[in-house]
Amino acid sequence: MTGCSMLKTLYCGASSACFELINDTPYYAPERFDVLLDGVKQFESETNVFSLFGLAPDREYTLTIKGAALNGELCFRTAGESCAIDVRLFGARGDGTSDDTDAIERAILYLPAGGRLVFPAGIYLSRPLILKSHITLEFTSGAVLLGWTERADYPIAVQSLTDGEDVCFAGFEGQTMPMYQSLLTAQYAEDITLVGPGRVDGNAQRSDFWVDFKSFPAARPRLMFFNRCEGVTVHGVHACNSPSWQLHPFYSRHVRFYDMLISAPKNSPNTDAIDPESCDGVDIIGCRFSVGDDCIAIKSGKIELGRKYNRPADHHTIRNCLMDFGHGAVTLGSEIGAGVRNLSVSQCYFRGTDRGLRIKSRRGRGENCRIDAVSFENIRMDGVLTPIVINLWYNCCDPDRASEYVWSRQCLPVDERTPRMGRFRFADMDCTDAEVAACYIDGLPEAPIEEVVLENIRIRFAADARPGIPMMENFAKERCRLGLYLDNVRHIQIRDVKLENEIGDKLIADHYETLETEDF
């Protein structure tokens, strides 16, 4: 591929391709621009990441972008493939009422390595499906894979009859447990691609998956579950209305999510958008989120999985994403028993989320829970209640969450249950209409956070801000327009940080070893 320095190819398959403008503006491009393919205008774009669909395999194309100041050209060649097959040839009707499960299953089994299964426009009602290696599923414009609504027809994932050291078929909220099979599942597979611009819809709003789910005999299904897979790409697909987490890569490697929309109603329970768990090498680029829980929650299991496998979340990149609504825009935890390292979040835009950059853990996550080398840069936030939170007192999702061990402010002994927090850098952030706190960072007295750097940050509070709770903890107190709050952080650096409309002191810091401030 050849081209100019302002354009980058993120993905190029047999029938679709995804591109990224190289600049420093979060999510949106500096200006609207035309997208041309071989000299013919396709559409106008206003975002840094954009896509082309309906391309021919193994063919050269010339991509051109034209704007008042944006002009560039890129030559690329689509990938080859063994075949492309219409799912309707196997009996799928796509009428929204017929059960198309068997037809889709036959088509997937029939598809050879390197093949593409095409879903033309229509609504394909389906029970859970199993994917296999070396295939592509393409949901064309107007195509919808619609989830079955009867919970009784969702099998519960099998459990091994032997205690295989590396065999695990299902997990939820950091633990292995029985789980209803997800709408799309891949187990121990590789080289799987799902491309858009169609929709994969869990249809949970028409089922009982969002009602009294704590009494179910198994954990609710995901929309897509990739267990111990390698080389998974989801490009362009609109994923929505999952029974619980929408996209859940689990102990997988080299997973890519490009130019997607992931959505669910604001009041839908546990509908996190993307929750990579104990994965290595995850790219989330150019995606838009609006869900009922965290937009992105990076996980690595609770203490049992952290001890057994010790697989940290490693080498994750989140870039040019838009979070329209969610509890946390980018969250680490709380199930991070094996830790998180080498995380980069940049050029993202958060609107209306409860918290922006949210890290949550607690005593009991274990000594393998080490979070280090985490960088958040070039972030814009509008209407985010608390832009930055690091919470080592998280009190949800565990039977002992209200115990004295969790909430005690005493300096307890460091043991195998104690998590560790390393280096965190927050830089080049512009936040408007915050309400609760600018920054709320609260470490453990017996294991303080090693280092926090805050640099080139502007946070303006809304004049009509309402009180709220900055982080979920026992005995939480409401705050309103609180400045920078840091407790139990060894080394603090604050450079060129400006607050507006805060109430009280700009900085409240306690239990630190060094505190450096410059232009603050």
pLDDT 10s digits, 11-31: 999 999 999 999 999 999 999
pLDDT at 235 over 80: yes
Phi, psi (5° rounding) for residue 303? Answer: -60, -35
Classify residue 221 by its DSSP letter.
P
- Catalytic residue among 327, 354, 428, 430, which? 327
What average pLDDT score do residues 112-133 get?
Answer: 98
CA distance 373 to 381: 22
Sort strands 238-240 and 261-263 into parallel, antiparallel or unpaired.
parallel
pLDDT at 427: 98
Higher pLDDT, 253 or 157: 253
CA distance 171 to 179: 7
Q: Taking the chain, what is the end-to-end CA distance rounded to the nearest angstrom?
A: 47
What average pLDDT score do residues 244-273 get?
Answer: 97
Q: If pLDDT is split at 50, 70 and 90, which confidence band does 453 have?
A: very high
pLDDT at 2: 54
What average pLDDT score do residues 394-411 get?
Answer: 91
pLDDT at 395: 92
- Alpha-carbon torsion 55, 323, 377, 318, what sign? negative
Q: Judge whether 327 counts as a catalytic residue.
A: yes
What average pLDDT score do residues 445-455 get?
Answer: 98
pLDDT at 157 over 90: no
Block residue for tokens 């950059």: 357
pLDDT at 398 over 90: no
Sort strands 60-66 and 71-77 into parallel, antiparallel or unpaired.
antiparallel
Q: Judge whether 293 counts as a catalytic residue.
A: yes
Q: If pLDDT is split at 50, 70 and 90, which confidence band does 308 have?
A: confident
Q: If pLDDT is split at 50, 70 and 90, which confidence band does 233 have?
A: very high
Grouping H, G, I as helix, E, B as strand and the rest as coil, residue 151 is helix
pLDDT at 397: 78
Kindly report the number of other CB atoms within 10 A of residue 375's CB atom. 15
Identify the weakest region by mean pLDDT among 169-178, 192-201, 217-226, 308-317: 169-178
Boundaries of every domain in the chain: 2-77
pLDDT at 5: 66
Residues 6+ apart with CB under 8 A from 6: 21, 22, 23, 70, 72
pLDDT at 47 over 90: yes
Are residues 151 and 207 in contact, defined by beta-carbon separation less than 8 angstroms? yes
CATH 2.60.40.10 fits 2-77, yes or no: yes
- Structure pTM? 0.96
What are the pLDDT digits (tens) for 366-385? Answer: 999 999 999 999 999 999 99
Block residue for tokens 């609260």: 442
What average pLDDT score do residues 93-104 get?
Answer: 98
What average pLDDT score do residues 247-251 get?
Answer: 96
Average pLDDT, the chain: 95
What average pLDDT score do residues 225-237 get?
Answer: 97
pLDDT at 1 over 50: no
CA distance 404 to 471: 18
What average pLDDT score do residues 80-86 get?
Answer: 98
